[in-house]
Chain A
Amino acid sequence: MPRHQDLKRVLIIGSGPIVIGQACEFDYSGTQACKALMKEGLEVILVNSNPATIMTDPEIATRVYVEPLKVPFIEKIIEKEKPNAIIPTLGGQTALNLALELNAKGILKKHQVKLLGADPHVIEAAEDREKFRNILDKVGAKYPKSILVRTFEQGMRASEELGFPLILRPNYTLGGGGGGIAYSMDEYKRMIANALHESPTSEVLVEESILGWKEFELEVMRDYSGTFVVICTIENFDPCGVHTGDSITVAPQQTLSDREYQAMRDEACKILNEVGVQTGGANVQFAVHPTTGERLVIEMNPRVSRSSALASKATGFPIAKIAALLAIGYRLDELKNDITKVTPTCYEPALDYVVTKIPRFAFEKFPGSKDLLTTQMKSVGEAMAIGRTLQESMMKAVLSLEFHPEGFPEINYQVEKVSYANSQRLFHIYQALRDGKTVEELNELTQIHPYFLEKLEEMVQFEKELEKLALDHVTLLRAKRLGFSDALIARIKKIKPTDVQKLRDQLSVQPRFQQVDTCAGEFASETPYFYSSYWPTFSPAIKFNQPAVVIGSGPNRIGQGIEFDYGCVRGVKALQKQGHQVVMINSNPETVSTDYDTSDVLFFEPLTTEHLHEVMKWVGAKGFVAQLGGQTPINLAHNLVSRGYKLLGSSLETIDLAEDRGLFSQICKELKFQIPQSAMVSTLSQAIEMAAGIGYPIICRPSYVLGGRRMEVIESEEELVSYFERHGEAISADRPCLMDQFLEGALEVDVDLVRGEDWLVIGGVVEHIEAAGVHSGDSMGVLPPQRLKDETCQKIEYLSSELAHRMKVIGHLNLQLAVKNDIVYILEANPRSSRSVPFVAKATQIPLIDLGIAAMLGVRKDQIHPEKFNWRKAPCVSVKGVVFPFKKFSEADSILGPEMKSTGESMGRGQDYSEALMKAMLSSHMQFHPKGEVFFSLRDKDKTMMLDIAKTLKSMGYTISATGGTAKFFNDQGIETLSLRKVHEGRPHCVDHIRSGQVSFVFNTTRGRKSIEASFDIRRACTDLAIPCLTESDSVEAFVLALKNARKGEIEVTPLAKMVEL
């Protein structure tokens, strides 16, 4: 049957800001779905609060709303747009929960909106663990013994019955939030209280442990006629106990026999039918006992998920796109396989290669947090690689993490890094094998299936053989077939990596390129989606047309995420519009850029010089774009240029000018621009000496870092000593430490601009809400600026343009500036598209990426008409909000500083600043409690300023509490304030008070390592209890402004206008 004819307009809900457990895979799924539905002639209304997404580009849907994903706003959109239906299965748990809420509140019924792809009882059946267990009983599936707990006391009884270790799974949370494994009663008591709090329904499933069992996931689809297909089987390298999002996984499954696999497949089908999934994608997770083969069901998600993005990339089957088409009434056999173009979509992909996914973590960003992996997801990104064998794909995936060109460098093996699951475990296992540990020993320590460990052992054994062997054709080919990088071979043979490359060229040991074709070669396929391998004897004969290569941004990490994928995807389209064939190279399976639909030719490859070189050689690249994928391609530009490839846009000299602090400050001096006092030092004694000249406070950071890694504000010599103690290993003569004067209280701004040969467009000036000292990625921002004087703003534009001209930028330039006492200081220049570009483009309707591409291609002023692009004409006020992952890192501090910690951003658009703030903060999950108590703990200098805030809040009906000093000050000024003890003053103290649930908001400003440590418990309590906690006086002001707006209860929504045409 063709699609439902009564459907004209469909609403798609996105997944909001990137958080751990819900990242850009939902941009991929939503964008795919929008494209497919638009092609079907439907009007698609999209809502998402995340401006960094491709899906919120106005071109993607009929109308795009960047609004908070909260019921009142969605209802307003429904009233305005009157859609016939909502597809809630493409925006992760956020969209699914929102759909449930809309349904429960009768809003869908009231406006006659259908839910497509999943109805409420399906969502509940899969999400509500008790209902789900009943379903499993009905189909005869087994599951771990468990007890549903609603109170602490029930929790205690459950632990007696089941015994330790215990797994806690709160209902209705994403990424296993609030869950974990408890090994002892002490641990368990703390965790159960937290888990009950985390679950929106206060329900926690306490489960017997299946630690050490093999873990599998089936990605499946079903259409309304009941046709069921398994798109991909995924097996976890890490056995049960580690969240699947944090596990290394391989596809297809490797250790199940046909009998075992088919039984699992049958069970998945029965579960889907019984849960009542009518159409769409879903996944079912299983545990299998390593020796008895006993099979248990872990969970099932009735929606497109992170792993379905992975499965789509791994197999070439576009799950989200097909899910959208099934939702509007198609059957699988009515749709064509995109890749082969001749066979139908109802098939199960056959793979003649192996796919490995390795997560990327950010524990180093959260000092104090333990690098331990549990059932709660903590990874911030992932890399995927394809090889003909598990070894080749595993090694490529390791290289894709961009840690080390050797993949597995020599490290110091630590047994606890093997026996406890952690982010470095794979590397320590590999090292353990080098150090002579056996597969049996490692299996004993890790319960990882020996099948996987043996594969690693073979690689290690060959490393040893290689030391003795001559590098002839046979040996080199064997090494490359194991996935060894040139750098690893070079290290083992004690030669240079470039020599290995030369040798490979001489002996013609070259990778071949193979197609991902969904069918293991059974049918001819046209789709140009490739991976490299040293196993094949040929590459398909393809004629390339001197393509332009866009290098992606690799696995998401804090500081380099979806914003850069936005740039890549938009850049690909812009290049195509200018008539170029475009090759995309990336290693991140969550992205839109790695959709084979995005570019003309897609390569799934590690972003290393070696792999990029081989691809670019094969396709005969005309040139490459390094400005769009963040720091990764910028770091590779030198090596690629030296191998003879043309860098499009800004030259290497321009890049060096920006990256080399010495050169950069020299230019600034030439141009008579102010820069903060600074120095470069490589030892502590040098540092102490230079600090005297600069004067405290000082910002310290090692050079060439991204996202402010190891960057700290240093207030005193004592702290400087401590800084060198902690970070000394990252500082040396060739990697000096940068010391910059810290402009206390300065206003920071971001400028994004594009420069062509003879033209320049300022994309926008974003004013940070927090003062200098908070990393730009972590501070909220507003466009147009609200506090900046107009003349200062003009000066900023002038300075930025001058700098761009002087640096001979062609393409993007991002500048970070600070304003203090009307003096503009230049802090940093990035000769590339930045994190703020998508936000700026959406706030101003200026297609910045398209302009950047035009600049790189040499388009002249008379074709561009730069005057068309005026950021001051932005139709409304836009505020960028930020989202942090502190909740996932139980020991981490939520205080903001120069090191970036946020994972995602939101955008609030309003007629005025307060409305935009309110929306941005709502989207960042701030809750505006209409009444209650506000707790202050302030450093001295903020007290006077906060007095007015306290007065305002009092007049709004809130009560005030504060720590001793602040309370006395407020009381003295006539504001009735409850005085609470600081933590060291004994109990009950302010943290007890906060944890008792009596406080609605916390304002806690502090500076200096000691005071920060002393007030840590306050902020941690807020993180645990989801109480808004603001740590900067400026953000407190903004918050109160937003709070006032929220209390008005007026809700307006407006769609994004189209971008200005190039």
Chain B
Amino acid sequence: MNGYLVLETGEIYEGRWQGGQARAGEVVFNTSQTGYEEIATDPSYFSQIVVMTSPMQGNYGVDQSVWESQKMWIEGFICLEIQKTKRDESWLHKLTENKIPLVSEMDTRAITLRLRGGGTPWGALVPAKTSQEAASLAKDLINEKKKIEKDWVYLASRHSLERRTGSCPQGPRVAVLDFGSKENILRELMSRCSEVLIYPSRTSVSQLLEHKPDGIMLTNGPGNPEDVQVAAGTVRELLGKIPIFGICMGHQILSIALGAKTYKLKFGHRGANHPIRDDLLGKVYMSSQNHGYAVDPQTLPPEVCVTHVNLNDQTVAGIYSEKKNCLGIQYHPESCPGPHEAGLLFDYFIEKMITKGKSS
């Protein structure tokens, strides 16, 4: 059976349908060489069809322990080759069991160059006999999909409080505002904290402070930060009162709370090889990336410094305000997939922003 990727702008790409259910989403590409399982289960990919530029997928099998959440969030998986032998076809099965459409034998480079050149449109993955058939199937799917709730963070967030005990009894207690958190942000916190309290995205300030947290973590999450309700207001009230660390969506919400504006990048950053200049740690290193929006540095208030820069395109990769004791990081210090260098920022949050603040 042929599988088609149909873009709302009209382009159609043909491949081999490997199973799953026809679906629509925003089409994005990721250049990571490894980490398909982490990517598929990362809530930030909510509502997105992912094109993997690395030709071979499923090559090292599956491992539930690397899942970044309880389920798969992607709307489709596109690659050139999928591991499919008697010995191992576990990734193929995992995707299709979860009804994620999987299309292989796609000219992923052609799609990537299209996305690079013209931005990331909506599209649909459908099985069909001909491209005409695919186009009409896709149109309905895309129209339907576009009707979903705009606040994607709300859709990806937990809807009740989850308390987790950390492995560091002397460590602080951190309240997490869940925008669609990757599991590894929580793991990183738990290894440094006595307790981690995870709240839904629309939690009020009083609820958030109920258990007297020492710091607030704003997590990653999907979608347009300007469509996220409640959270920016919540964060605005907390600014300067408690240490705040935002990652990805959390960083964008923090920036909005500080008065800045965000904008959509042409085709986003998704991969594991973007260089970052980190003036806070005084280093240049590789980072794990997954975001479609960025903060406009011109709109940041003067007391906030751009401390992290993406060296590929000079976009804002992180902000810091000593006065407000808040840190926003656009990329993924929790990695998974990707390099670990930025993991030190969790130490910075705990040791420099929380512990030092407490002792002084």
**A143 in contact (CB, < 8 A):** no
Interface code A330-369, partner B: CB below 8 Å = 1, 0 otherwise?
0111000000000110111111111000000000000000
Residues of A within 8 A of B59 (CB): 254-255, 451
**A389 in contact (CB, < 8 A):** yes
Q: Contact: B55 with A258, CB < 8 Å? A: no
Our pick among A225, A257, A524, A535 for the contact of B80 (Cβ within 8 Å) is A535
Give Cα A252 to B273, complex, Å. 14
**B271 in contact (CB, < 8 A):** yes
Residues of B within 8 A of A458 (CB): 85
Our pick among B56, B113, B116, B273 for the contact of A348 (Cβ within 8 Å) is B273
Interface code A962-998, partner B: CB below 8 Å = 1, 0 otherwise?
0000000000000000000000000000000000000
Interface code B296-329, partner A: CB below 8 Å = 1, 0 otherwise?
0000000000000001110000000000000000
Q: Contact: B108 with A352, CB < 8 Å? A: yes
Interface code A246-262, partner B: CB below 8 Å = 1, 0 otherwise?
00000011111111111
Q: Which of B302-360 touch A at CB < 8 Å?
A: 311-313, 335-341
Give Cα A349 to B113, complex, Å. 17
Tell me the interface secondary structure of chain A in the complex: loop
Q: Contact: A257 with B285, CB < 8 Å? A: no
**B283 in contact (CB, < 8 A):** yes
A266-B340, A352-B108 given as contacts; is B53 within 8 A of A259 (CB)?
no
Interface code B75-109, partner A: CB below 8 Å = 1, 0 otherwise?
00000110001010000000000000000000111
Give Cα A228 to B284, complex, Å. 8
Residues of B within 8 A of A260 (CB): 60
Q: Which of A416-433 touch B at CB < 8 Å?
A: none
Give Cα A346 to B338, complex, Å. 15
Our pick among A261, A352, A450 for the contact of B87 (Cβ within 8 Å) is A450
- Output the least CB separation between B74 and chain A (Å): 16
Q: Contact: A262 with B286, CB < 8 Å? A: no
A331-B284, A348-B273, A536-B107 given as contacts; is B56 within 8 A of A520 (CB)?
no
Q: Contact: B55 with A537, CB < 8 Å? A: no
Give Cα A349 to B59, complex, Å. 20
Q: Contact: A519 with B285, CB < 8 Å? A: no
**A75 in contact (CB, < 8 A):** no
**B258 in contact (CB, < 8 A):** no
A350-B31, A352-B108 given as contacts; is B335 within 8 A of A262 (CB)?
yes
Query: Which residues of B does A touch, CB under 8 Å?
Result: 29, 31-35, 37-38, 53-56, 59-61, 63, 66, 80-81, 85, 87, 107-110, 112-113, 116, 271-275, 277, 283-286, 311-313, 335-341
Q: Contact: A262 with B337, CB < 8 Å? A: yes
- Output the least CB separation between B222 and chain A (Å): 21
Interface code A261-287, partner B: CB below 8 Å = 1, 0 otherwise?
110011000000000000000000000
Q: Which of A506-550 touch B at CB < 8 Å?
A: 514, 519-524, 535-538
**A866 in contact (CB, < 8 A):** no
Our pick among A256, A259, A346, A390 for the contact of B284 (Cβ within 8 Å) is A346
Residues of A within 8 A of B284 (CB): 225, 227, 331-333, 346
**A797 in contact (CB, < 8 A):** no
Chain A to chain B contacts (Cβ below 8 Å), 20 pairs = A227-B284, A252-B54, A254-B59, A255-B59, A256-B34, A256-B60, A258-B337, A262-B339, A265-B340, A333-B275, A343-B312, A344-B275, A347-B275, A349-B273, A350-B53, A389-B55, A450-B85, A454-B85, A458-B85, A522-B29
**A809 in contact (CB, < 8 A):** no
**A388 in contact (CB, < 8 A):** yes
- Output the least CB separation between B66 and chain A (Å): 6
- Output the least CB separation between B289 and chain A (Å): 10
Our pick among A258, A346, A523, A537 for the contact of B110 (Cβ within 8 Å) is A537
New A-B pairs, 10, CB < 8 Å, besides A349-B273, A521-B112, A522-B31:
A233-B33, A258-B32, A261-B33, A348-B286, A350-B33, A350-B53, A351-B54, A352-B112, A454-B87, A538-B107
Give the size of the chain A interface in residues (CB under 8 angstroms). 52
Our pick among A228, A331, A352, A439 for the contact of B55 (Cβ within 8 Å) is A352
Nearest A-chain residue to B34, judged by Cβ: A258
A265-B339, A346-B275, A351-B54 given as contacts; is B33 within 8 A of A522 (CB)?
no
Q: Contact: A521 with B116, CB < 8 Å? A: yes
Give Cα A439 to B273, complex, Å. 35
Q: Contact: A344 with B116, CB < 8 Å? A: no
**A226 in contact (CB, < 8 A):** yes
Nearest B-chain residue to A438, judged by Cβ: B86
Q: Contact: A348 with B109, CB < 8 Å? A: no
Q: Contact: B66 with A258, CB < 8 Å? A: yes
Residues of B within 8 A of A351 (CB): 33, 54
Q: Contact: A520 with B338, CB < 8 Å? A: no
Q: Contact: B55 with A353, CB < 8 Å? A: yes
Residues of B within 8 A of A228 (CB): 285-286, 341
**A19 in contact (CB, < 8 A):** no
Nearest A-chain residue to B60, judged by Cβ: A257
**A934 in contact (CB, < 8 A):** no
Q: Contact: B80 with A388, CB < 8 Å? A: yes
Ranked nearest first, the 3 interchain pairs of A and B with the lowest CB-CB distance are A258-B35, A258-B34, A520-B53
Give Cα A233 to B109, complex, Å. 21
- Output the least CB separation between B269 and chain A (Å): 9
- Output the least CB separation between B43 and chain A (Å): 18
- Output the least CB separation between B91 and chain A (Å): 11
Residues of A within 8 A of B85 (CB): 450, 454, 458
Which of A225, A351, A522 has the most B CB atoms < 10 Å from its CB? A522
Our pick among B61, B108, B283, B312 for the contact of A347 (Cβ within 8 Å) is B312
Residues of B within 8 A of A252 (CB): 33, 54
Residues of B within 8 A of A523 (CB): 116, 312
Q: Contact: B108 with A225, CB < 8 Å? A: no
A227-B284, A454-B87 given as contacts; is B110 within 8 A of A538 (CB)?
yes
Residues of A within 8 A of B335 (CB): 262
- Output the least CB separation between B312 and chain A (Å): 5
Residues of B within 8 A of A259 (CB): 63, 66, 336
Residues of B within 8 A of A354 (CB): 55-56
**A229 in contact (CB, < 8 A):** yes
Our pick among B81, B116, B285, B311 for the contact of A343 (Cβ within 8 Å) is B311
Residues of A within 8 A of B87 (CB): 439, 450, 454
A347-B273, A454-B87 given as contacts; is B116 within 8 A of A388 (CB)?
no
Q: Contact: B116 with A257, CB < 8 Å? A: no
Give Cα A252 to B57, complex, Å. 13
- Output the least CB separation between B306 and chain A (Å): 16
Residues of B within 8 A of A229 (CB): 286
Q: Contact: A344 with B112, CB < 8 Å? A: no
Give Cα A257 to B53, complex, Å. 16
